[in-house]
Amino acid sequence: MRGQNLKIDPERLWDDLMQTAQFGATPKGGICRLTLSETDKQVRDWFKARMTSLGCAVTVDDMGTMFARRPGTRADVPPIAMGSHLDTQPTGGKFDGALGVLAALEALTTLHRAGYETFAPIEVVNWTNEEGSRFSPPMIASGVFAGAFTRDWAQQRRDRGGESFGAALDKIGYRGSESCGAHKLSAFFELHIEQGPFLEAEGKDIGVVTGVQAMRWYEVTVTGTDSHAGTTPMNRRHDALLGAARLVEAVNAHARKFAEAVGTVGRMEVAPGSPNVIPGEVFFTVDLRDPDAGVLDRMEQDFSAAAKRIGDELGLAIDFKPISAEPAVRFDKDCIEAVRAGVEASGLTSRDIISRAGHDAAYVARVAPAAMIFVPCKDGISHNEAEFSSKEQCAAGAQVLLQAVLDYDRRLAERYGK
Ligand code: GLV
Ligand code: MN
Ligand code: MN
């Protein structure tokens, strides 16, 4: 089959992973590269320079998402895109997101060096703010791209320091001119580390990702009364942190009632934050996930009921705001078939898998055929500086990505009756 002999270069991919890991490198070997920060600008500039050196045209949309295009033989066919994100968690690893972008860059480099002509244009995409750590919700740019959020709402989201997404985009010079969502795609493929234990445990090279579980985010503000820690008797307190603590317990207990559900409070801010003042206000986030959105409905109802009860018991006002709700996603049949063909062409082992983490591909799937490829990561650990996939595992994923894109390109050529 045409293109089946093309091989990505494992060393070049590894070098790119290690080189870009310097932008925001942490002493413990991870990366802190929050979206739209100075280090995000540095890695974006690096990415743009590399793509330009390969003769690609780089466009940026008004949510800061970058698209680097290598032409195909048919300029009127929308591109087949591959990519992921270059932002990280505050204590992120070297592979979450970066692997998907840099493997896409490597796949495109392989085509470029071989002088291989595809039917459709091929693009490498770097989505803005996949992580949702600085600006919530996560995957905000692919969400706007897919019509899940409006651009204006997204650009007005503020980080905890009060800076808006729009202002942060302008500060690093990455508010592009293309309207987010206007960029048409024939398909989208995202390679990612699994971030869970199954592939490693079963000794499989590749996860063929058939879908993504449902996920919801909320922001909660608990309001009580600031007062003196020494002079306020226990029965006259309105302690916002005590209420928040009981709600954290409730999130954990509600998730445990269901076989596959998970519930997390990952950020909490306590005001005024003084040892001898009873906290008057607490802000915290809630992340709920399950493959079945019906389970999330029940968890949300349980949380609301717990908030009402705890608020009444402690004399607190509890404001519970939904921020995002992503339904469970089934990826496109033809894209999944292309991934299977890629696994076969690469001579690797695989199993089907559902993603427990959120990904840009889940939003993109609303507006273009999409699928994902997973590779194992050590002990299933991610969102941690110790996150690790080997050179060989990364290379296997990049090779399948390349072959999946080429397979889809052949299907597209047939469909257009080339
Ligand atoms: C994305 O990183 C997620 O939280 O799943
Ligand atoms: Mn990711
Ligand atoms: Mn992540």
Mutation to probe ligand 1, out of 190, 359, 381 (largest number of atoms < 8 A from CB) = 359
pLDDT in tens, 98-154: 999 999 999 999 999 999 999 999 999 999 999 999 999 999 999 999 999 999 999
User: What percent of the chain lies above the pLDDT cut of 90?
Assistant: 99
Q: Which ligand is nearest to the CA of 216?
A: 1
Backbone angles phi and psi of 329, in degrees to 5 = -120, 140
pLDDT (tens digit, 9 = 90+) per residue, 256-307?
999 999 999 999 999 999 999 999 999 999 999 999 999 999 999 999 999 9
| Angle, vertex CA 307, rays to CA 305 and CA 311, nearest 5 | 125
Cα 183 to chain centroid distance, Å, stands at 19
Is 413 buried (19+), middle (13-18) or exposed (0-12) by CB count in 10 A?
middle
Q: Is 90 exceeded by the pLDDT of residue 418?
A: no
146-204: pLDDT as tens digits: 999 999 999 999 999 999 999 999 999 999 999 999 999 999 999 999 999 999 999 99
| 40-85 confidence digits (pLDDT tens) | 999 999 999 999 999 999 999 999 999 999 999 999 999 999 999 9
**Geometric angle at alpha carbon 323, from 383 and 209, rounded to 5°:** 50
| DSSP for residue 180 | T
- For a mutational test of ligand 1's pocket, the pick from 99, 131, 217, 382, i.e. the residue with the most ligand atoms closer than 8 A to its C-beta, is 131
- Amino acid type, 347: G
Q: If you measure from the C-alpha of residue 39 to the centroid of ligand 1, how many angstroms do you get, rounded to a whole number?
A: 20
Residues 6+ apart with CB under 8 A from 166: 155, 156, 175
Q: How far does residue 232's CA lie from ligand 2's centre (Å)? A: 47
Over residues 387-397, mean pLDDT:
98
Which among 217, 302, 305, 321 has a CA at the least distance from the CA of 258? Answer: 302
Helix (H, G, I), strand (E, B) or coil at 320: strand
Asked if 100 and 51 touch (Cβ cutoff 8 Å), the reply is no
Using the predicted structure, report yes or no on whether residue 1 has a pLDDT greater than 70.
no
8 Å CB contact between 23 and 92: no
Atom of ligand 1 at shortest distance to CA of 289? 5
- The bound ligand whose nearest atom lies closest to the alpha carbon of 85 is 2
Phi, psi for 389 (deg, rounded to 5): -130, 145
State residue 83 phi and psi, 5-degree precision.
Answer: 165, -165
C-alpha distances (whole Å) from 310 to each of 334, 338, 408 are 49, 51, 54
Task: Using pLDDT thresholds of 50, 70 and 90, give the confidence band for residue 384.
Answer: very high
Question: How many angstroms does the Cα of residue 205 sit away from the middle of ligand 2?
Answer: 19
Nearest ligand 1 atom, CA 96: 2
- Band (pLDDT 50/70/90 cuts) for residue 332 is very high
E-strand stretches of 104-253: 122-127, 187-193, 206-212, 214-223, 227-228
CB atoms within 10 A of CB 162: 7
Query: What span, in angstroms and rounded, lies between the C-alpha atoms of 404 and 412?
Result: 12
- Cα 312 off chain centre by: 37
C-alpha 159 – ligand 3 centre gap (Å): 18
> What is the reported pTM?
0.96
pLDDT at 317 over 90: yes
Return residues with CB closer than 5 A to ligand 3 (ion): 96
The residue whose CA is least distant from atom 2 of ligand 1 is: 131
- The span from the CA of 236 to the CA of 142, in Å, is 48
Which positions ≥6 away from 154 have C-beta within 8 Å?
A: 63, 140, 141, 143, 144, 165
Distance 418 CA to ligand 2 centre (A): 36
Pocket of ligand 1 (CB under 6 A): 131, 138, 357-358
Give, using CA atoms, the residue closest to atom 1 of ligand 1.
358
| 311 C-alpha to ligand 3 centroid (Å) | 33
Longest alpha-carbon distance in the chain: 82
Could you tell me the CA-to-CA distances from 145 to 65, 118, 187 in Å, in that order?
9, 25, 14
